[in-house]
Amino acid sequence: MNHPQHVQITEVGPRDGFQAERSFIPTARKIEFIDRLVEAGVPRIEATSFVSPRAVPQLADAEEVMRGVDRSRGAVLAALVPNKRGALRAAEAAVDEMVVFVSASESHNRKNVNRPTEASIAGFEEVARVAGEAGIPVSGAISVAFGCPFEGEVAPMRVGEIAHRFQQLGFAGASLGDTTGMATPPLVAAAVAAVREAAPGLGLSLHFHNTRGIGLANVMTGLGLGVDRYESSFGGIGGCPFAPKATGNICTEDLVYLLAEMGIDTGIDLRKLSGIACDVEVAVGHALPGQIMKAGLRLDLHPMDSVRVAQG
Ligand code: MG
């Protein structure tokens, strides 16, 4: 197999995960979690979002979060930026990277940001200009890249076209988002091939959800294709708006565990990461879907007298 030896993980919990939480997570706690992620060796974090505070009250403290976190350790702190206004705020806050987003399908883009995909992409030029003047790289996220909850199948060609536009805009990379958990191994292979053909050399990240239980199987497909960047969230925090009981993002600890067992380096301290996930679970006040945070590592042994009967 063609597995990469090193994988870069982007932790999206502080943005993608917290955004799905109803009760406000105090700014000081957000800062603490980001600092601990950096300390655990996470190289890139989606720290917050410069969307309208009215649209996403949970992330209304974007400026304070960026001001409060320890920037001395060199992890890349990325932030979501919806438009020029958001880009100006993000530049002022000196984010390390801006992330813009567009859906692969027209229906999802209209539902998400109330405009056609071409209007979204046209708006990225202004973001790229603001970011360029501030010397900040931009990357692009493609939502519903493996299937749309309104339209069904998404053509890999369309995903490739958008990635090509990103490349023309000078973006640092593209992330393919499985927004509602519709990706399967064959669809992953088709989308990766389409992006590589349409935008050769563009950095490629995969952002999977575990909505239907095959998030890590999709990662395995990506690894086999040599993709070395993945996005995930601590504890698997983050839901799916179309399936209230289903999980969203794949879980970072579970992903790091898998990679470590395969001998693939991430630079992340898994025990520290599990500790963070357990504290995030307490902070949000409900169970998170992560497995390693509950089960521990494979060779964490149990004293024989600690269980009454080894059932099953
Ligand atoms: Mg997500």
The candidate with the shortest Cα–Cα distance to 276, out of 304, 306, 311, 252, is: 252
Tokens 């706690």, residue?
A: 29
pLDDT at residue 1, rounded to an integer = 61
pLDDT at residue 247, rounded to an integer = 86
Q: Could you read off the pLDDT of 27-51 as tens digits, one per residue?
A: 999 999 999 999 999 999 999 999 9
Q: Which residues of the chain fall below pLDDT 70? A: 1
Name the DSSP letter for residue 25. Answer: P
How far apart are the CA of 230 and the centre of ligand 1, in A? 11
Secondary element (H or E) of residue 40: none
How far apart are the CA of 144 and the centre of ligand 1, in A? 10
Q: Could you read off the pLDDT of 259-312 as tens digits, one per residue?
A: 999 999 999 999 999 999 999 999 999 999 999 999 999 999 988 888 888 777
The candidate with the shortest Cα–Cα distance to 52, out of 91, 83, 26, is: 83
How far apart are the CA of 177 and the centre of ligand 1, in A? 7
pLDDT at residue 89, rounded to an integer = 98
**Contact assessment for residue 13 and residue 238, using Cβ atoms and an 8 Å cutoff:** yes
Q: List the catalytic residue out of 148, 240, 251, 278.
A: 240
How far apart are the CA of 186 and the centre of ligand 1, in A? 20
**Contact assessment for residue 236 and residue 249, using Cβ atoms and an 8 Å cutoff:** yes
Q: Is 251 a catalytic site residue?
A: no
pLDDT at residue 306, rounded to an integer = 84
pLDDT at residue 193, rounded to an integer = 98
The residues, any chain, with a CB within 8 Å of residue 276's CB and separated by 6 or more, are 33, 36, 37, 40, 234
